[in-house]
Amino acid sequence: MTELTLARATDLIRLAIDKAAADYGKPICVAVCDASGALLAFARAEGSPLRSIAISQGKAYSAARMQANTDAVKAKLAADGVEIAWFCDEKLTALPGGAVLKTAGGAIAGAVGISGLASDQDQAIANALAATFANGAV
C-alpha cells in the first residue's frame, strides 16, 4: 500500500502514542501531514504539553515541505550557516521530531511530527513510524 489515508494516519498516531508510553512513560502529540504539508490527522495524548500541539504540527509540516527529516534539516542548516527564517515560511521548524513518510518505492507520501519528549526521543519515534509506513505495516 502506498497511499497515505486517514485510516493509515490514525494507525500511525496510535502506534506513536503507544510507543512513547511504553518506551518513555510520557504522553505526546502526533501530527500527520500529506505530501504538501497539509494536516491530515492529529492527536494529543492526555497530559502532553500544550505547546506540543503546535510543535508537532510544525515538525510534520516542515518534514513534508523540506522533503527531509527535521533532524537532517537542522544539521544541514548548521553546516551551511543558514537560518531557517531565510526560507520565508513562518511555519517551518528544524526541531528534531519530524520524519518524511516514504513508500517502499521511495515516493514521499507525507510526514509525521512528534512532540512531548526530548527532541532525540521525538525523532526516534518519528523515524520508527516512517520505517513502519515504508514497509507497509500500517
Q: Which long-range contacts (CB under 8 A, 24 or more apart) does 131-136 make?
A: 132/12, 132/15, 133/4, 133/8, 133/12, 133/101, 133/102, 133/109, 134/101, 134/102, 134/103, 134/104, 135/104, 136/1, 136/104
pTM above threshold 0.85: yes
* pLDDT, tens only, 15-58: 999 999 999 999 999 999 999 999 999 999 999 999 999 999 99
pLDDT at 2 over 80: no
Strand partners, 30: 43, 114
| Number of other CB atoms surrounding residue 38 within 10 Å | 11
Domains and CATH numbers, the chain: 6-134 (3.30.450.150)
